[in-house]
A and B are shown apart, each in its own frame.
Chain A
Amino acid sequence: MLSLVIPIAFALVGLALALTLWRLLVGPSPADRILALDTLYVNTIALLVLLGIHLESALYFEAALLIALMGFVGTVALCKYLLRGDIIE
């Protein structure tokens, strides 16, 4: 079952990555790009977890965990900048 699902999942996540990247490059507004970057983080987490399942290794989990945490903070900071300019006030 997994041998069938994993390639499909990789293809779908790859497609998602390509599309998010496209949105990141064309924008047009800063909000579009922030959202694209945040989605890129989410896709990357999916990719890493998938890779871990595929290779039967737990080594990728911490990276995924960290992307979840750091990506959130990065997005918060970028959005705060758009709203208030001064991000630490």
Chain B
Amino acid sequence: MSLVWLVLTPFLGAALVAAVARLGRSHAAWAAGAVTLLALAWLLPLIPTAFAGSTVLQRVGWLPSAGVDLVFRLDGLGLLFALLILGIGLLVILYARYYLSPRDSMGRFYASLLLFMGAMLGVVLSENLIQLLVFWELTSLASFLLISYWQHRADARNGARMALAVTGAGGLALLAGFLLLGEMVGSYELSALLAAGDVIRAHPFYVPMLALVLLGAFTKSAQFPFHFWLPHAMAAPTPVSAYLHSATMVKAGVFLLARLFPALSGTPEWFWLVTGAGLATLLVGAFTALFKHDLKGLLAYSTISHLGLITALFGIGTPLAAVAGVFHIINHATFKAGLFMAAGIIDHECGTRDMRRINGLWRYMPHTATLAMVAAAAMAGVPLFNGFLSKEMFFAEAVGVSATLAWGWLLPVAVTAAGLFAVAYSLRFIHDVFFNGEPIDLPRTPHEPPRWMKVPVEILVVLCLLVGIFPAQTVEPLLSVAAAGVLQAPTPAHDLAIWHGFSPALWMSLIALVGGVLVYVGRRPLFDLYERRIEPHLDAKAIYEYLLGRLFAFARRLTGWLDTGSLPRLLGLFFLFALILGAAGLASDTVPLTGARALLPVDGISLLATLGLIAAALATVVLHRQRFTALILIGAVGLTVALIFIKFSAPDLALTQLSVEVVTIVLLLLALYFLPQESPAESGTPRRLGDGVLALAAGTGAGLLAWAVLTRPYQTIAGYFLDNSLTGGGGSNVVNVILVDFRGFDTLGEITVLALAGLGIYAMLEHLRLPGPARDPQGRPWDADRHPAIMASFTRLLLPLALLVSLFIFLRGHNLPGGGFIAGLITAVALIMQYLANGVAWTQVRLPGSNMHPLIAAGLAIATVTGLASFAFGHPFLTSTFGHVHWPLVGEFELASAMAFDLGVYLVVVGATLLILIHLGAMHTASHEAPSPTKGDN
């Protein structure tokens, strides 16, 4: 279970941090740090097992009926990544405490950061591919929040959107690839997948699957040509960049390559696709980085280039290349995190990141300068720094693989060129920023940052040096176990030494070093060339925006074609197609329309009621322009429908219909007051005739369908509920038992929606004041008597009676027609009656707690707590129980836990209905005297 908790801790911690942030800025940082340490504590006991070379698998049943489990896996590779994520995460948390300005929200920052951390841990520790993909998408979402942290800046929003679009599209491709992969092997679990490499590689769908998986990995790891989102993600705060672009986000892509290495690698397709993309990225990134004037831009392209290097290593596919790939993942994470933090310090102290203005900082911040220079030397691949070691392994692998290829000599040349540019841009980072004259027109005078802001950089730089000088004593054990995790086989013999003799790789390093210095010295013509010839023509962002624009235009055209915004048109199309489909079924089928069931006898009253219903419905259609008349007629239609419900033994439905009917009338009357009394004729006669024919045909079709169904003996699910309602739910009213027990979860959802709808209407109406008409529709002045005395006195007498009816309906609901919903409506109507007859002011004064929000909240809370209470007894959510008690006088009385749930339903219905109606009524200011209803209600 510890792996589950390890992944869950940051997610839970995110909520904690957001809450703690209210106490103070440092509290949030401390809490985030504590959460990360706690996660590390979950990991620690497992480290010896992982180092012993065994794989830890932990499984939690999630949806056992669907065969879906949460499975976590810790092997060498997972361990390495978990350590990087947590370790660098901890340093970033410390650094960000000093980086963020007092205007920035600490809670939001650290909560998003922890969300991201949890998602990343989920990616690297998942055993199941689908589960991995869920966390993968979570990293995309969390990174969106982090990149757009400064929401007021357009570049942050655009950069975040671009990153989400590119990595999200890749995630979709990845899902498709994973599904193919799962189908090939018959399992989504890595243990099975990694052992089935031969099956996968021989499968006819290998190439499409590989392409889809690689699309996912390449978009995430910013491989050419999907690299363009990464520089734009630099609009994020620098701690975010230091985290996302060193150890986490972009490393998820190369993690995937490493994770699936045993299953997918070893084919020519793998070699060409992965090495090809990696090399292109390596070259494009290294070349472009030199010309970026923005400090973070340079680092961004350098990151792209190093990711290309790692990808190329995995593409080469030999075990030693994989070892080198893992090694470079570690090295790049340490020096790049340090460099981003140093860049953040410089930005923080100078107020700009433009290297044409930042010069000669050595004099102002020698300490930071030393740290940055060490990290930059590691980035360049200078001996004695960690970057040198893995880069030399890369050179050696490139030379090794070149012998097997036609035109193979191009490969060492290309990687040497990339190395050369890496030296050049690293040199530019050092020379331009810390030397090269004096600062030009800086917004602030730079000085050393606070002590603790430098500590994370110091730790990282020390690591760079330690690994660079004593590789065998420091990084070797971790590297070896991680590489074994990648290969799923013992790590091949490798020698982590600085000196390997005069190998080709050494000469390549030398050429890169010397050549890099020369390129930097002679950079002026190169800059001219780049700025005039290359930059204006090569803008991936422009292509992306062009494609996005086309996509939006296409979507708009399609939507505009389907939906012109005309409801009659949409409904007409809908009914037309339903009619065509239904008629086709009716015409082609040999089954007769009328089924075998005997018809029920018709009695005179039912016939009369039906004719009345038809007449009232027709009259509503004919008179629908006179809105008030139509409303009265609808009232008659509703009443007749309730009668039909009673006739066909659905008393619950009838009671609900009757209560809803009157609430609807009140609601419509409230709205009608502000509306024209007659609707204008908007369509011509031909249109109306056509619509009429269509409506008649659709009605006839629905009637025929009902006829066909009702005349057949038909097995419904009602039997199950009738059999189990009393024994399982403790109530003999099946409708109510379904609502509060069998389908209690649905009801909980529905009352939540009702509560939200009530609050939504409240929010919309809160400050809305509309002028009402001064005269009635006939032009007469309104009656002067607001609350006729007889009516007022009479309704006051009615209130207790109505409440008694409501209580009666509520209590009997479990066994006889009734229940919380109907009782809630009756109570609401009883109270509305007082508002109608006695006015808002009179009622508000006498109604205790006329603010409906606590009532709604209490209802939701009672329903939820009733559901949760079943957990305490070891049953699933909302399991109900019941018992019988013998009360004096009353006699045998049944108590069911569902009744508490029903009480929740009751309170929500009362609260939401009153909230909506009263606030609709309060929109009209002119007729209201103090105290105003909103005053008591807020």
Contact = CB atoms under 8 A, between A and B. Distances in A.
* Bound together: yes
Interface of A: 10-11, 13-14, 17-18, 21, 24-25, 27, 30, 33-34, 37, 40-41, 44, 47-48, 59-60, 62-63, 65-67, 69-74, 76-78, 80-89
A86 B639 contact: no
Contacts of B642: 63, 67
A83 B783 contact: yes
B824 to A, nearest CB: 13
A81 B659 contact: no
Interface stretch (B205-213, B379-387, B916-924): B916-924
Given A18-B612, A81-B672, A88-B922, 5 more contacts: A74-B666, A81-B669, A85-B673, A85-B772, A85-B773
B643 interface: yes
A74 B646 contact: no
B833 interface: yes
22 contacts: A14-B605, A17-B612, A25-B615, A27-B629, A34-B632, A37-B636, A63-B642, A63-B646, A66-B805, A69-B829, A69-B830, A73-B832, A76-B837, A77-B665, A78-B669, A83-B783, A86-B673, A87-B670, A87-B836, A88-B832, A88-B836, A88-B917
Interface stretch (B154-162, B534-542, B650-658): B650-658
A37 B665 CA distance: 13
A24 B636 contact: yes
A84 B783 contact: yes
B669 A63 contact: no
Nearest to A47: B605
A64 B608 CA distance: 19
B616 A25 contact: yes
Interface in B588-641: 604-605, 608-609, 612, 615-616, 619, 628-629, 631-633, 635-636, 639
Contact of A76 (B658, B661, B836, B922): B836
Contacts of B604: 10-11, 14
Contact of B612 (A21, A71, A72, A86): A21
A65 B670 CA distance: 26
B835 interface: yes
Given A86-B921, A89-B839, A44 B643 contact: yes
A78 B773 contact: no
B820 to A, nearest CB: 15
Which size bracket describes the interface of B in this complex? 35 or more
A88 B651 CA distance: 31
A21 B633 CA distance: 10
B662 A87 contact: no
Given A25-B619, A69-B802, A81 B673 contact: yes
B636 A40 contact: yes
Contacts of B193: none
Contacts of A77: 662, 665-666, 669, 836
A18 B636 CA distance: 12
Contacts of B920: 88
Contacts of B836: 73, 76-77, 80, 87-88
A13 B608 CA distance: 11
Given A66-B805, A83-B782, A84-B782, A73 B833 contact: yes
Contacts of B666: 73-74, 77, 87
Interface hub of A59, A69, A77 (most chain B Cβ within 10 A): A77
B776 interface: yes
A8 B332 CA distance: 97
Interface in B766-794: 772-773, 776, 782-783, 785-786, 791
- Which of B642, B773, B917 has the largest number of chain A CB atoms within 10 A? B642
B715 interface: no
A74 B636 contact: no
B840 interface: yes
Contacts of A88: 670, 832, 835-836, 840, 917-918, 920-922
B928 interface: yes
A45 to B, nearest CB: 11
B390 interface: no
Nearest to B619: A25
Interface string B550-590: 00000000000000000000000000000000000000000
A4 to B, nearest CB: 17
Contacts of B658: 63, 66-67, 70
A34 B628 CA distance: 10
A68 B616 CA distance: 21
Contacts of B782: 83-85
Contact of B833 (A63, A66, A67, A76): A76
B818 interface: yes
B117 to A, nearest CB: 53
A72 B341 CA distance: 74
Nearest to B841: A89
A88 B772 CA distance: 12
B68 to A, nearest CB: 47
B918 A62 contact: no
A89 B632 contact: no
Nearest to B922: A88
B302 interface: no
A36 B604 CA distance: 21
A89 B921 contact: yes
Contact of A48 (B646, B833, B835, B917): B646
A82 B629 CA distance: 11
A89 B840 CA distance: 6
Contacts of A85: 673, 772-773, 776, 782
B927 interface: yes
Interface in B787-830: 791, 795, 798, 802, 805, 809, 817-818, 826, 829-830
A72 to B, nearest CB: 8
A59 B791 contact: no
Please list the 6 inter-chain residue pairs (A to B) with the smallest Cβ-Cβ separation, ordered nearest first.
A88-B921, A83-B783, A89-B927, A70-B662, A33-B632, A74-B662
Contacts of B786: 84, 89
A63 B744 CA distance: 25
B783 A21 contact: no
A68 to B, nearest CB: 9
A10 B658 CA distance: 22
A60 to B, nearest CB: 6
A59 B673 contact: no
A33 to B, nearest CB: 5
Q: Which of A41, A60, A73 has the most CB of B within 10 A?
A: A73
Given A62-B651, A89-B924, A21 B636 contact: yes
Given A74-B662, A78-B632, A67 B605 contact: no
A69 B826 contact: yes
A28 to B, nearest CB: 10
Nearest to A33: B632
B795 A76 contact: yes
A73 B829 contact: yes
A64 B646 CA distance: 11
A10 B605 contact: yes
A27 B809 CA distance: 36
A17 B608 contact: yes
B791 A78 contact: no
A63 B651 contact: yes
A58 B234 CA distance: 75
B415 to A, nearest CB: 80
A81 B628 contact: yes
Contacts of B840: 88-89
Contacts of A80: 836-837
Contacts of B608: 14, 17-18
Contact of B921 (A14, A24, A87): A87
B683 to A, nearest CB: 25
Contacts of B605: 10, 13-14, 47
Contacts of A82: 776
Please indicate which of the listed interface residues A10, A41, A44 has the most CB atoms of chain B within 10 Å of its own CB: A44
Contacts of B921: 86-89
Contacts of A27: 629
